[in-house]
Structures are given as structure tokens and as C-alpha cells.
Amino acid sequence: MRRGTILEKLRVRATSGMLCGVLLAAHALPLGAHDVWLEPSNYRADGSETVAIDVLVGERFRGERLPRRPQRIADFRAVGIGWSLPVRGAAGVAPAGVLRLPAELRGPIAVHYRSRPAAVRLSRQRFLDHLTSEGLEEIAIDPIPATVREVYSRCVSALLRIGEGRADPPPAPDCPLVVWPRGDSVVPTADEPLELVVRKEGMPVVGIRVSAIHRDDPEHELSARTDDDGLVRLVLSRPGVWLVKAIHLEPDRSGEADWRSWWAALTFEVPPR
């Protein structure tokens, strides 16, 4: 792939596609705590079980539980092949959602959470630090104003397995930026390659960095950039719970901000060997 500016690396292969709702954090997050992800109380549940779904905010898989804020939520649901269930909860308390599973439900499902756009103002230095931490250093194109206005959107998901038996993987979220497993396998076993595809508005994104962090070893991060087809392959070194995330950043053309960012995250459990 020809090298160039990060805007070229992060370009979307086509600009057409369906524009859908977006997820945002509950408030403007400090630089040291800008990740948002889902953590279910159990990644492998039995039928008829109630699963709590926490929305967490923090850094490197360490964070705080956010209470449910209905005014922020655009969509919060569990999905499978041919079905969808709302994830309900009580306003102002954590966990943000509670999923009551039908007794007959079996196989892999996904929980998707997206909410409404939010804006943040960052100093030039904080913006540059933010770019460095997310592998977006080359986007630092002059001139960068003293105060940077950014509108950011989030879409986070969790993969669960209910009962035993093999089934088709659940649908990916209907969001602008999506990081999702490719193929029939929902998640691999340890030491097997995990192939993910990154799409923005349905089109592959080239050169975007995808990072994976294990919950029990958050300082050790795996990362790679997508190829010309928006694909990335990561070999997960151990069983347990993983967080995969990516961010796409580009200039805002609406005039409402300087930059627009889209954040995607996915949590899942790799089974023991």
C-alpha cells in the first residue's frame, strides 16, 4: 500500500453506504480514560439465565461502571440470527442493562450498545497526546488550533454464548464504524489467528490500527493495521476475556467541529485450550 498521510491510510474505499446511529460516552472523557466497552456478567450462560451488562469507561481494560442514562442511549439490544431483544435497565443505576434470556435460546449472541453524539474540546497538546496513544501520529497536520473541537461517536459490542451447540455467528452492529470477526467462527481458541474486518458505513477501512488487550494482562497490547480489504489478523496468546478496539478520525466537514472520530470496541471470551 502506498505510504502517505494518515488520512490516506485511513481512507474509506468508498463513500457510499447507509448512515446509521452512533454511540457516545456518557460525558466528555478525560484523556486518561477514553475507552468504553461492554462487560457481561457471564460470557457463557445457560438458558433462562439473567445476564447483567455493564458499560465501563476507563483505560486498558480498567474502568468504572456507568449508570444507565436513557437520554444518552440510541440503541441497546441483544441480537441473534432472525431475532432481537431490548436490553432493559433502571435509569441512574448500574449495571446499565439486564438481559433476560429465553429458555429455548442457544448458540452465540451479540449485545450492541450505541448512543448519541457528544463533543469535547481538547488543548493542542492533549489532542497530540491522544493521537500518539491511538496510533494516529501522522494525522497531526498543521495548523492545529490551540483548542481542538472534536465530535466523537462510539459503538461497543460483546459476544456471548448461550448453552452448547454450534450456530451461525450473530449479526454485526448497525453502526458507522464496525470491528467484527470474519467467517463462521465467532472467536478462536488461544494461539489461533483471529481475523477481523473493519468497515465504516459498510466499506472496508484501510490502514486503521486494531488493538487487542487481555483483561488479566492489560499492559500487554497486541496491535496490527488493516490491509487493503479492511482485514487484520491477531493471534490471541491466551484464553480469557479480550477487548478489541479501533478508532477512525477525519476532518469534520460540517463546520461544527475540527475533527470527527468514530470508536468501535468488542469484548469476548476465548475458551480454555
User: Residue 17: what pLDDT?
Assistant: 29
| DSSP H helical ranges for the chain | 6-9, 124-133
Please state the rounded mean pLDDT for residues 229-246.
93
**pLDDT-derived band at 54, boundaries 50, 70, 90:** very high
89 or 118, which is more confident = 89
**How far apart are alpha carbons 168 and 189 in whole angstroms?**
17
Q: For the segment 140-150, what is each residue's pLDDT rounded down to a tens digit?
A: 666 788 898 99
Unique residue bearing C-alpha cell 435509569: 91
Q: Could you give the 3-state DSSP secondary structure of residue 31?
A: helix
**How far apart are alpha carbons 258 and 71 in whole angstroms?**
25
Please state the rounded mean pLDDT for residues 116-135.
84
181-191: string of b/e by CB count within 10 Å (b at 16+)? beeeebbbeee
Q: What is the reported pTM?
A: 0.82
Q: Rounded mean pLDDT of the chain?
A: 82
Please state the rounded mean pLDDT for residues 147-169.
84
**pLDDT-derived band at 53, boundaries 50, 70, 90:** very high
User: Residue 131: what pLDDT?
Assistant: 81
User: Residue 184: what pLDDT?
Assistant: 67
User: Residue 25: what pLDDT?
Assistant: 32
Note the Cα 21 to chain centre separation in Å.
14
Unique residue bearing C-alpha cell 441497546: 76
**pLDDT-derived band at 29, boundaries 50, 70, 90:** very low
**How far apart are alpha carbons 25 and 152 in whole angstroms?**
9
pLDDT at 28 over 50: no
DSSP symbol at 99: E
User: Residue 255: what pLDDT?
Assistant: 84
User: Residue 16: what pLDDT?
Assistant: 29
Which grid cell sits at 36? Answer: 468504553
Q: For the segment 188-232, what is each residue's pLDDT rounded down to a tens digit?
A: 777 778 899 999 999 999 999 999 999 999 999 999 999 999 999
User: Residue 247: what pLDDT?
Assistant: 92
pLDDT at 159 over 60: yes
Q: Could you give the 3-state DSSP secondary structure of residue 2?
A: coil
Strand 83-86 relative to strand 217-225, pairing: unpaired
User: Residue 144: what pLDDT?
Assistant: 82
User: Residue 104: what pLDDT?
Assistant: 76
**pLDDT-derived band at 178, boundaries 50, 70, 90:** very high
Looking at the chain, the number of H-run helices and the number of E-run strands are 2, 18
Which grid cell sits at 95? Answer: 449495571
**How far apart are alpha carbons 225 and 158 in whole angstroms?**
22
106 or 95, which is more confident = 95
Q: What angle do CA 18, 24, 26 make, to 5 degrees?
A: 155
30-47: string of b/e by CB count within 10 Å (b at 16+)? eeeebbbbbbbeebebee
Is residue 130 within 8 A of residue 40, CB to CB? The reply is: no
φ, ψ of residue 137 in degrees (nearest 5): -55, -40
**pLDDT-derived band at 152, boundaries 50, 70, 90:** confident
Strand 107-115 relative to strand 147-162, pairing: antiparallel
Q: Could you give the 3-state DSSP secondary structure of residue 273?
A: coil
Unique residue bearing C-alpha cell 450473530: 170
pLDDT at 19 over 70: no
How many residues are given for the chain?
273
